[in-house]
Amino acid sequence: MTRSIRTRTSTPFISERSRLATKPSRVHRYSRRDCMRALRKLKLGPGEVELVEVPDPQPARGEVRVRVESAGICGTDIHILHGAYGNLQPPVTLGHEFAGVVAGAGPGVHGWSDGERVAVESLAGSCGRCRDCRAGETQCCPERRAFGISADGAFADYVVVRETALHRLPDGVSFRQAALAEPLCVAVHAVLEKSSLRAGDTVLVTGPGTIGQLVAQVARLSGAAVILAGTAKDRERLELATATGTEHTVFSDREDLPAAVERITAGRGADAAFECAGVGAAVRGCLAAVRKAGQLV
């Protein structure tokens, strides 16, 4: 049973513990039944999020226990907090963007040592047999389990993950940076795998949240010029984008978006548009702003 230690709805913050001072040691076979903190969605509906104590998770065969060092707050987490996310399977510990250190392993795990610094995939599991899994599109598997949604996630001291979901962190990558690996993967997937962007292209990105910012960065590193669109409430985000090199920003609630793109591209339209806002108006704006034979992702 869980014991509530704080009953009001609370929101987690990105946190980072100090770097490990010790070198990785051999894998610790975990057997104690201690408790840990976990921010859990207890049932469907608005709120229903509590910081509670739960037993430390125990890694089963092929699983590794990770001590969470840094975790990011996704837009999905906000939707879950407000009861506006459909696929949730509560009660569940939230958090799917995270990095940490190996802290115990179940039977059959080889090659990982306590203290190793890791980033973790957000997919907790998939069937491995369906058409999508065989095509490498495990995120589309109808039986997929996702951390923080249908499997206990990372807004907790510890999380148990399959061994194959771990990725070692280079020394130069901090835990805080590594917590962005999951949304960065989304951006890399969109720009490098789902579009045929070429150097010299001009792309439109709608929505300057984490995904939009990272899509803009990956597109720029691919040689494209970026037009990033947001609304008045996104002012700070658009300023951040400008400070990090995005060529053009547009307030789509002040200026007609297709007209702005037409102005910036001298009438040609965007070679590709990446819709990262998740709203219908942005999809329509992208369709109107992309050039003939352009792409919308």
Site for Zn ion, rule CB under 5 A: 74, 76, 126-127, 130, 133, 141
Q: Which is nearer to Zn ion, 24 or 75 (CB)?
A: 75
In the sheet with 97-105, reading across from the earlier edge strand, the strands are: 158-162, 63-72, 97-105, 117-120, 166-168
Is 135:128 a contact under the CB 8 Å cutoff?
A: no
Q: Which is nearer to Zn ion, 50 or 182 (CB)?
A: 182
Cβ 144 to Zn ion shortest distance, Å? 7
DSSP result, 26-37: SPP------EEE
Cβ 290 to Zn ion shortest distance, Å? 25
In the Cβ-directed half-sphere of 119, how many Cα atoms lie within 13 Å?
21
Question: Which residue in 147, 179, 148 sits closest to 72, CA to CA?
Answer: 179
Is 133:141 a contact under the CB 8 Å cutoff?
A: yes
Cβ 211 to Zn ion shortest distance, Å? 8
Q: Which is nearer to Zn ion, 134 or 198 (CB)?
A: 134
Q: Which is nearer to Zn ion, 24 or 209 (CB)?
A: 209
Cβ 177 to Zn ion shortest distance, Å? 16
Cβ 110 to Zn ion shortest distance, Å? 25
Q: Which is nearer to Zn ion, 20 or 130 (CB)?
A: 130
